[in-house]
């Protein structure tokens, strides 16, 4: 008996067939051929051929999907292949904002007008257009010590720019140009909504290579870094910035950091460049940029309270006081931190603050550095307010009252004053 009681698998003739009527005996007689069944090899061959045909059909469908019209007629679920390209959004974002990004040539002397390669380079972003004027955001250091500013658009059109206002503390400036021919104004985004790892692109004029695009991610959305405003090695301000690994080189300053919607979310401002350090760039968040820019357009400067002192940190590591100098100040042994006055002007001078006074408190709150003094002034106080300044003079503690005024128009000297 076979292993299976089934006609298909049994190697014997079923007994049920032999029991049928004699009229069918001729059909099932031993001398008559039985109907042939397919062998194992034939079945395998047929299955292989069918599988190959199905595989080719599927590959053809995937590699060459139907057009939007065909897909809509079938199921409406297939998109054009470029919509699935992850880099297509970068292309579209760049195309949207590129015409609003300009190159800036800062001709600091007459020779650079003759030889443009000698001009200081930077970038800018057209963010506003009214009547016959267009306004450009850039960095304050890009236009420092300028005699003549030349703007070059993405189309190669060159025109002269004038400075509306600048602010060294925030490193921002606004320029004005003739709006004739300017068709694109950058759209500002929301830098507060940035996420760690979000894709961004930087557009600017690095190394004089105008209209350059680089891409990267947001390495950190709100990094706080110390800044030395007069490049003396002493940190006297803190700047909130967007950290990115998009390549930012000399000349990129003032250019746009853009999200994948083609919105400007930052103004590129600085880059750490040192041995073994790569891929660290910074941009000022656009949420901070616009409040500063609007004030620059309205007032030509940022209105901040002004004390009127040149100062040096008592514990400055780059210019430490000698033992003899400390003895001359006659400070008590427990006074290790404070702000040493080098010059007094304006409100400070009127209040009687003098050379070699050591400021230790403002309104009773300890002040241990120039950075702390400046942040208290700008973040807490307002123009016209009184401020109590506690200081040591000749070894004795004194307190004077200062009426704060508006900071004078910025120049190379005023930038170092508080």
| Span 217-257, pLDDT tens digits | 999 999 998 888 777 767 878 899 999 999 888 888 999 99
**Using an 8 Å Cβ cutoff, are 392 and 331 in contact?**
yes
Q: Which of 147, 174, 155, 171 is nearest to 103 (CA)?
A: 155
Given this model, what pLDDT does residue 51 score? 73
For range 259-276, the mean pLDDT: 80
Catalytic, 141? Answer yes
Cβ–Cβ < 8 Å for 263, 188: yes
Please tell me what DSSP assigns to residue 369. Answer: S
Q: For residue 26, is pLDDT > 60? A: no
Full DSSP string of 215-281: EEEEEEEEEEEEE-TTSSS---EEEEEEEE-S---TT-TT-EEE-TTSEEEEEEEEE--BTTB-S-E
The reported pLDDT for the residue numbered 208 is: 78
What pLDDT is recorded for position 75?
38
| Cα–Cα distance, 268 to 264 (Å, whole number) | 10
The neighbour count for residue 266, using CB atoms within 10 Å, is 29
Dihedrals phi, psi of 304, to nearest 5 degrees: -135, 150
Q: Shortest CA distance to 307 belongs to which of 227, 400, 226?
A: 400
Evaluated on CA atoms 159, 163, 168, 171, the torsion sign reads negative
Please pick, among 141, 219, 311, 369, the residue that the annotation labels catalytic.
141
What pLDDT, on the 0 to 100 scale, is given for residue 60?
65
345: which strand partners? none
Q: Provide the whole-model pTM.
A: 0.72
56: pLDDT strictly greater than 80: no
Verify whether residue 107 is a known catalytic residue: no
Task: Calculate the alpha carbon distances from 267 to 225, 231, 236 in Å.
Answer: 16, 21, 21
pLDDT of residue 46: 72
| DSSP per-residue codes, 90-118 | HHHHHHHHGGGEEEEEEE-SHHHHHSGGG
The rounded percent of the chain whose pLDDT value lies above 70 is 74
Question: Which of left, alpha, beta for 256 (phi over 0: left; psi -120 to 50: alpha)?
Answer: beta
Among 78-87, 105-114, 161-170, 326-335, the range scoring the smallest mean pLDDT is 78-87
Q: Are 357 and 349 in contact (CB under 8 A)?
A: no
- Residue 324: pLDDT band (50, 70, 90) is confident
Catalytic residue among 123, 219, 253, 369: 253
pLDDT score, position 103 = 94
Tell me, yes or no, if 299 is annotated catalytic: no
167, 171, 288, 357: which one is catalytic? 171
Six-digit token pair at 226? 């110390």
Residue 185: in which H helix or E strand, if any?
Answer: none
Question: Strands 396-403 and 148-152: what pairing?
Answer: unpaired
């Amino acid at each position: 008996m076979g292993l299976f009681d089934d006609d298909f698998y049994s190697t014997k003739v079923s007994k049920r067939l032999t029991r049928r009527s004699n009229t069918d005996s001729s059909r099932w007689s031993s001398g008559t051929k039985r109907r042939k069944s397919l062998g194992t090899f034939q079945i395998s061959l047929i299955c292989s051929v069918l599988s190959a045909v199905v595989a080719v059909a599927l590959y053809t469908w995937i590699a060459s999907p139907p057009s939007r019209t065909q897909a809509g007629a079938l199921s409406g679920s297939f998109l054009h292949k470029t919509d699935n390209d992850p880099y297509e959004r970068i292309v579209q974002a760049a195309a949207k904002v590129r015409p609003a990004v300009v190159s800036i040539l800062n001709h600091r002397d007459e020779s650079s007008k003759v030889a443009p390669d000698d001009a200081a380079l930077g970038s800018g972003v057209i963010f506003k257009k009214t009547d016959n004027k267009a306004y450009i955001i850039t960095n304050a250091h890009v236009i420092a010590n300028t005699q003549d500013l030349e703007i070059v658009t993405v189309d190669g059109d060159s025109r002269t720019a004038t400075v509306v206002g600048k602010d060294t503390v925030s490193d921002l400036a606004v320029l004005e140009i003739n709006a004739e021919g300017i068709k694109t104004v950058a759209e500002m985004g929301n830098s507060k909504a940035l996420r760690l790892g979000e894709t961004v692109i930087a557009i600017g004029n690095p190394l004089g290579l105008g209209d350059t695009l680089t891409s990267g991610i947001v390495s950190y959305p709100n990094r706080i870094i110390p800044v030395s405003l007069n490049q003396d090695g002493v940190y006297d301000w803190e700047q909130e910035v967007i950290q990115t690994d998009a390549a930012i080189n000399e000349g990129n300053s003032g250019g746009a950091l853009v999200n994948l919607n083609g919105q400007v979310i930052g103004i590129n401002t600085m880059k750490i460049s040192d041995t073994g350090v790569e891929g660290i760039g910074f941009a000022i968040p656009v949420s901070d940029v616009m409040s500063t820019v609007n004030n620059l357009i309205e007032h030509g400067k940022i209105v901040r309270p002004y004390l009127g002192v040149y100062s040096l940190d008592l514990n400055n590591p780059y210019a430490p006081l000698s033992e003899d100098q400390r003895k001359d100040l006659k400070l008590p042994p427990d006074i290790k931190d404070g702000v040493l006055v080098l010059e007094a002007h304006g409100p400070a001078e009127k209040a009687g603050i003098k050379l070699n006074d050591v400021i230790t408190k403002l309104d009773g709150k300890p002040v241990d550095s120039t950075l702390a003094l400046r942040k208290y002034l700008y973040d807490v106080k307002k123009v016209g307010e009184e401020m109590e300044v506690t200081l040591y003079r000749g070894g004795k503690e004194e307190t004077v009252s200062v009426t704060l005024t508006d900071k004078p128009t910025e120049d190379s000297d005023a930038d170092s004053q508080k």
